[in-house]
Amino acid sequence: MPTTRILVVDDSVVIRKLLSDVLSADRSLEVVGVASDGRIALAKIPLLKPDLITLDIEMPVMNGLETLAAIRKLYAKLPVIMFSTLTEQGAAATLEALALGASDYATKPSNTGSSAVAIERIRGELIPKIKALCGVVTWTVAPLVRPTPAVKVRTALNSRVEIVAIGASTGGPNALAKVLPLIPKDFPVPIVVVQHMPPIFTRLLAERLANHSAIGVQEGAAGTELRAGQAWIAPGNFHMTVKRAGLRWSLELNQDAPENSCRPAVDVLFRSVAAAYGANTLGVVMTGMGSDGVLGAKHIREAGGEVIIQDEASAVVWGMPGLVHAAGQADGIYPVDDLAREITRRVRQNREAGAPLSSAQCVGQELGAK
């Protein structure tokens, strides 16, 4: 079986040695070279012909952002994973790198106090991303959802959408940057989002999206009441859920066990939204590795809601949306550039006179009759 050829670029001798040893220990991976700065890396790429590059951000001579920009001019499709520190500065630089075309990122293991822990962190976070980006991993879905060759055909329930729930992972920040800024300012329902990211990253992502969007975008906080024309992104290391109390819906956060090795997890959010909004839910599963979101999509559709997904051609990794499709839990497949338009269309299509009452309206009528 051919191996994935990797070029490790980092100014730290210790990190270069650690990455080389850990990655090369996997039989499907081969570190074909290392470089201590961007200029050396650019000189080595045509000689070594790597399949993927791991790239540090803070380096002398030519830093990671400068190197990435040069790589993208010369090798538009060469996968690049940023290897950054879990700090405010590192997170901000990583988001900038993703906007410049980085394929994904992994955080450096720091303050672990143990080389064994550091090695496990790299094995658990970086290696799966390398394999996903280079197409050497096959995702499996839990037995609860039996894969089917085609999307299940359902009778349209024609329910009025009262909330949009979005899940994304690898490639998600750039995909969200193409979707949320195109949502109109008068969007009539709230949006809740899980993007697999650690603490700090999610807050900075929300701020970055808010600067380019007509709707409000912020990191989710416990007790926040949901309102139309606003999007909330689940904070790193917390599951985010939606809870209904009478005519009000609000956000809750918890640190329950990770699901699908993720916290926040898309499945957790989707389950709670399906329970709180029922058939008035529109789920959206975007680019990402793994199977998070498949079971949550099933919950939404069993409650009568609908789920749409990003197509394979526009996804960095078609793991999450691809498995939703394979499990027969998708009601539509769209390129990322069409998702905002489709979300808006579905939300607005049943808001004219004569459309079925939403859950909120039904509760209001019940309360008024008492």
The yes-or-no answer on residue 196 being catalytic is yes
Q: Which of 84, 196, 314, 331 is catalytic?
A: 196
Distance CA 75, CA 70 (A): 8
The yes-or-no answer on residue 292 being catalytic is yes
Identify whether 184 is preceded by a cis peptide bond (ω within 30 of 0): no
- SS3 track for the chain: CCCEEEEEECCCHHHHHHHHHHHHCCCCEEEEEEECCHHHHHHHHHHHCCCEEEEECCCCCCCHHHHHHHHHHHCCCCCEEEEECCCHHHHHHHHHHHHHCCCEEEECCCCCCCHHHHHHHHHHHHHHHHHHHCCCCCCCCCCCCCCCCCCCCCCCCCCCCCEEEEEECCCHHHHHHHHHHHCCCCCCCCEEEEECCCCCHHHHHHHHHHCCCCCEEEECCCCCECCCCEEEECCCCCEEEEEEECCEEEEEEECCCCECCECCCHHHHHHHHHHHHHHHEEEEECCECCCCCHHHHHHHHHCCCEEEEECCCCCCCECHHHHHHHCCCCCEEECHHHHHHHHHHHHHHCCCCCCCCCHHHHHHHHHHHC
Task: Kindly state the tokens that stand for 275.
Answer: 């329970």
Nearest partner of 183 among 224, 248, 228, judged by Cα: 228
- In the chain the first and final C-alpha atoms are separated, in Å, by 70
Task: Kindly state the tokens that stand for 220.
Answer: 């989710």
Distance CA 293, CA 128 (A): 18
Q: Which of 292, 311, 331, 338 is catalytic?
A: 292
- Rama region for 342: left / alpha / beta (φ>0; ψ in -120 to 50; rest): alpha
Return the active site residues: 169, 196, 292
